Amino acid sequence: IIVVSPDVGSVARARAFAQKLGMGLAIVDKRRQKANSSEVMNIIGDVHGKKVILFDDMVDTAGSLCGAAQALVEIGGATDVIACASHGVLSGPAVERIEKSVIKELYFLDTVPAKQGVTCDKIKYLSVAHMFAEAIERIYEEVSVSKLFV
């Protein structure tokens, strides 16, 4: 299994995640021609024959995420793509793109509520309530909150 940054701008975040899991890192090099549009140029790192965790911060229209996943399989030779992002905005054609994509599962935090009436078996939500509760308790007890993020 290898962690993949979907673009150069997300490398630091993906690297920290990969290090916590003791995994390698690869990067999808893409060019963004205009907003909500990008083209994969290259994959930096070896994903051939590997399961990948595509690690992003936010998914809006899902074009970049789905394009990166497709490239990881078609160009890089990855066997499976699981994706995760903090925020699932999911505007416009996002859900349809995810449904048709090579992504097996996509995990979001519940920081942005799921769209009502929109279903996609690939999309799963993880609660952050426990982290907020812990932060509130630490603030109340005057204990460091930063330890939550180590």
Q: Name the residue with tokens 């205009």.
A: 34
pLDDT of residue 149: 81
Which position among 20, 30, 51, 124 bears the catalytic label? 30
pLDDT in tens, 103-138: 999 999 999 998 888 889 999 999 999 999 999 999
Average pLDDT, the chain: 92
Phi and psi, residue 64, nearest 5°: -65, -45
Strands across the sheet with 80-88, in order?
37-44, 24-34, 2-5, 51-59, 80-88, 103-109, 123-126
pTM of the model: 0.89
pLDDT in tens, 75-107: 999 999 999 999 999 999 999 999 999 999 999
Active site residue 124: no
- State both tokens at 42: 């290259």
Is 60 within 8 Å of 90 (Cβ atoms)? yes
The domains located in the chain, with CATH, are 2-149 (3.40.50.2020)
